[in-house]
Amino acid sequence: MSTKVGIIGAGGMLQYHITGFRQAGAEVVAIADAAPGAAERAAKQWGVPNTYGSVDEMLEKCTELDAVSIIVPNKFHAPLSLQCLRAGKHVFCEKPPALKASEVEEMIKISSETGKKLMFNFNNRARPEAVAMKAYVDAGVTGTINSAQAKWVRRTGIPGFGGWFTTKELSGGGAVIDLLHMIDLALYFMGYPEPAHVLAQTFDTFITDKGFKGPWGIPDRADGINNVEAAAHGFVTFKTGQVLTLQVSWAEMVKREEVSVVFQGTGAGGKVERLFGRDGFDETAIDTCELYVQENGNSVDRKITVPACEDMGRIGSSKNFIDAIEGRAEAYNTPIQALRLMQIIDAIYQSAETGAPVSIA
């Protein structure tokens, strides 16, 4: 019997969630969206039988639901996840997990009490490059990863001015909380160690400069708020002795958009990198997946060849949610990992505000 899924939010990510769920054999039976007509338009396009104007209505009337996916602004991730968990549904939530770590702690508590799976769309773990690299890590080829560098930098990438992305009350922050994927991927390769200390600085230099608007996002709002960071740099230490350096930006003076994790292990180093082209995924884009080893006294660079994946793992991540529910696969992520990630993000913002290192208990 297939898992029956309802989707909350009819935005751009819906196409990937639906495709991944269906590839795993799940049945998408409902879409809920508060915007007039949004659910109906998406349901017509994707052949979904039921639409609702609110989450309450969907949970009340669509009694066949086993699981939900949540595709809404960040502020609503935790409240809706908690509501659906309490209603007895498995939850697949877009990133970030919440606005702060304390909300994730409550989500973990309710997930444990209800026995329902709670997962997040850390989709870059499902990219072929990441899957291949993680297999080498798990096989012991890299040894212990002592240090890593996580980077997602954009030159012109502010996702609209005055909308929810740039309004801290709704988003929780700017580039860091939006482009958290490479921090997560570095931690994933490192074994998701428990963080100890964070030192960071954020910059809002270009957050109101229309010359730094990205080609994606949402429309500008002239009367909106722009009170989040455009860039951040930081350093994290872990209780294991491992360390992580991070650089994240929507708007920063760099040559081109770079999405990468580089690490140094006791057995091998590695790099997973995407350099975007002039127009995103075009002929000038460059993908790299490499291991660096010493063999017979020689420095050897191993190129790992994997299939192209322009959706950046979004479909595979959604498919994994269903596979994990139905017992065919291990979940790509766990709530404890989400908590540690949010603890680091909280500490980045606190350190930037206070100008001092932050200890994580």
Alpha helices for the chain (secondary structure H): 14-23, 38-46, 55-61, 77-86, 101-114, 128-138, 168-171, 175-178, 181-190, 314-325, 335-354
Both 245 and 343 in one domain: the answer is yes
Which of 79, 106, 121 is the last residue in one of the domains?
A: 121
CA pair distance 92, 160, nearest whole angstrom: 26
Residue 183: Cβ within 10 Å count:
24
CA pair distance 186, 80, nearest whole angstrom: 28
CA pair distance 274, 128, nearest whole angstrom: 12
Both 218 and 264 in one domain: the answer is yes
Both 117 and 94 in one domain: the answer is yes
Both 41 and 179 in one domain: the answer is no
CA pair distance 129, 134, nearest whole angstrom: 9
Both 99 and 128 in one domain: the answer is no
pLDDT at site 287:
84
Distances (CA, A) of 147 to 125, 269, 328, 340: 19, 10, 33, 17
> The domain that contains 75 carries what CATH number?
3.40.50.720
Over its length of 361 residues, how does the chain's per-residue pLDDT go in tens digits?
799 999 999 999 999 999 999 999 999 999 999 999 999 999 999 999 999 999 999 999 999 999 999 999 999 999 999 999 999 999 999 999 999 999 999 999 999 999 999 999 999 999 999 999 999 999 999 999 999 999 999 999 999 999 999 999 999 999 999 999 999 999 999 999 999 999 999 999 999 999 999 988 889 999 999 999 999 999 999 999 999 999 999 999 999 899 999 999 999 999 999 877 555 555 666 788 999 999 999 999 999 999 989 899 999 999 999 999 999 999 999 999 999 999 999 999 999 999 999 999 8
Locate the DSSP E strands across 162-238.
Answer: 195-203, 231-238
Interacting residues of 56 by C-beta distance below 8 A, sequence separation 6+ = none
pLDDT at site 277:
59
Both 55 and 134 in one domain: the answer is no
CB-neighbour burial class of residue 96 (10 A; exposed 0-12, middle 13-18, buried 19+): buried
295 belongs to a structural domain: yes
pLDDT at site 350:
98
Question: Is residue 245 a contact partner of residue 150, using CB atoms and an 8 Å limit?
Answer: yes
Q: Which domain holds residue 33?
A: 4-121
Both 171 and 266 in one domain: the answer is yes
Give the total number of structural domains in the chain: 2
Which of 72, 100, 121 is the last residue in one of the domains?
A: 121
318 belongs to a structural domain: no
The predicted model scores a pTM of 0.95
CB-neighbour burial class of residue 278 (10 A; exposed 0-12, middle 13-18, buried 19+): exposed
Both 101 and 131 in one domain: the answer is no
Q: Residue 156 gets which letter from DSSP?
A: S
Both 138 and 73 in one domain: the answer is no
CB-neighbour burial class of residue 286 (10 A; exposed 0-12, middle 13-18, buried 19+): exposed
319 belongs to a structural domain: no
324 belongs to a structural domain: no
Q: Left, alpha or beta for 355 (phi > 0: left; psi -120 to 50: alpha)?
A: left
Exposure of 55 in the CB half-sphere (CA atoms within 13 A)? 22
Interacting residues of 354 by C-beta distance below 8 A, sequence separation 6+ = none
pLDDT at site 278:
56
What SS3 class is residue 308? coil
pLDDT at site 215:
86
The values of phi and psi at residue 111, to 5°, are -60, -45
Distances (CA, A) of 242 to 9, 332, 351: 38, 22, 19
CA pair distance 269, 222, nearest whole angstrom: 47
Question: Is residue 189 a contact partner of residue 261, using CB atoms and an 8 Å limit?
Answer: yes
Both 40 and 83 in one domain: the answer is yes
Both 156 and 284 in one domain: the answer is yes
Residue 336: Cβ within 10 Å count:
12
Which of 121, 142, 176 is the last residue in one of the domains?
A: 121
Both 38 and 174 in one domain: the answer is no
Which two structure tokens, joined as six digits, stand for 192?
Answer: 């998701």
pLDDT at site 280:
56
